[in-house]
Each structure stands twice: as structure tokens, then as C-alpha cells.
């Protein structure tokens, strides 16, 4: 905003930030002045793996939350497995403990895969959004 790289579309009415010589209202919605190309690959993270798997244990099929979900390596790290999209899956704590570091003991119901940006966007829409400001609904749909 200070460098004039964005246009402010909506402001928070009751949130002001201060510095020694300057103060401003905090923007609620901004638009970049220059086009940013959409990403074609997604960052590998626990949250994105949970989202890809729709927060469902891939071994027993139960729904999990952020607090009781675990990241499981289909081929265990202790046996040379890597942390990749194709080797990581969502598991409940019980199934992850039961599988432990065994290779053929349990197999995920859906084979792990590398999702596209649009795969995760569609799954995020199904789960819903947290609207931090009421005006976001106009832009997120």
C-alpha cells in the first residue's frame, strides 16, 4: 500500500495502525496493480495434504480434524521413504500408530497423488471459508 503496488477496495472501519509519524486504517480487501500468474504446483504441507484427502483417514475412512489428524508416510522414512505428495497421506492417530513403520501392513484406500492448484481450490470451496470481513463474500462468492 505504501509502495503503491495495491489498490484498496474495502477498509476495516474500526482498525487503525499507528507508527511514530503515520497512521492508517487497515485494508480489508486489496487488489494487486500488476497481474500475478496463478500457481501450477502447490506447496507440500501438512494442511495441504489434509485438504487433498478431505480431512479423512485414508486407512479407516473416519473424518479427522486438524488436532487429531496425522501425516503418515506410506513407505516409512525409517526405511528410506521420502516426504513427497505421492508418499504422504492423512491418517487418524489410531491408524498411524497401528501401521507404525511397516510397509505392507496397511494400504491407503486412495493412492496419494500430487494435486493441482485447482484441485485444492475446489476442495477448499467444499469445506467453506472463514470470512475475516463481511465484504470478502462479494469477492469469494
Task: Look up residue 3 and give its three cell numbers.
Answer: 509502495
Q: What is the pLDDT of residue 133?
A: 82
Q: Determine the pLDDT at residue 64.
A: 96
Q: Which CATH number fits domain 46-120: 3.40.50.300, 3.10.450.50, 1.10.30.50, 3.20.20.30?
A: 1.10.30.50
User: What pLDDT is recorded for position 141?
Assistant: 65
CB 48 within 8 Å of CB 42: yes
Q: Give the CA distances from residue 1 to residues 6, 35, 103, 138, in Å, rounded to whole numbers and listed in that order.
A: 5, 16, 52, 21
Neighbouring residues of 57: CB distance < 8 A, sequence distance ≥ 6: 63, 64, 69, 90, 91, 92, 95
Contact (CB, 8 A) for 32 and 13: no
Place of cell 492417530: 93
Question: Count of CB atoms within 10 A of residue 86's CB?
Answer: 12
pLDDT value of position 81:
93
Helix (H, G, I), strand (E, B) or coil at 89: strand
Domain boundaries, the chain: 1-36, 46-120
Mean pLDDT by 10 residues, the chain (141 residues): 88 92 91 87 93 96 93 94 96 93 89 92 86 81 65
Q: What is the pLDDT of residue 86?
A: 96
Amino acid at each position: 500500500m505504501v509502495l503503491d503496488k495495491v489498490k484498496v477496495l474495502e477498509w476495516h472501519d474500526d482498525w487503525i495502525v499507528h507508527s511514530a509519524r503515520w497512521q492508517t486504517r487497515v485494508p480489508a480487501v486489496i487488489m494487486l496493480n500488476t497481474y500475478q500468474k496463478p500457481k501450477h504446483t502447490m506447496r507440500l504441507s501438512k494442511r495441504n495434504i489434509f485438504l487433498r484427502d478431505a480431512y479423512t483417514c485414508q486407512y479407516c475412512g473416519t473424518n479427522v480434524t486438524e488436532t487429531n489428524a496425522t501425516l503418515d508416510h506410506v513407505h516409512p522414512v525409517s526405511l528410506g521413504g521420502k516426504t513427497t505428495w505421492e508418499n504422504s497421506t492423512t491418517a487418524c492417530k489410531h491408524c498411524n500408530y497401528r501401521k507404525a513403520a511397516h510397509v505392507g501392513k496397511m494400504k491407503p484406500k486412495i493412492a496419494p497423488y500430487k494435486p493441482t492448484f485447482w484441485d485444492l481450490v475446489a476442495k477448499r470451496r467444499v469445506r467453506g471459508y472463514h470470512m475475516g470481513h463481511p465484504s470478502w463474500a462479494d469477492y469469494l462468492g
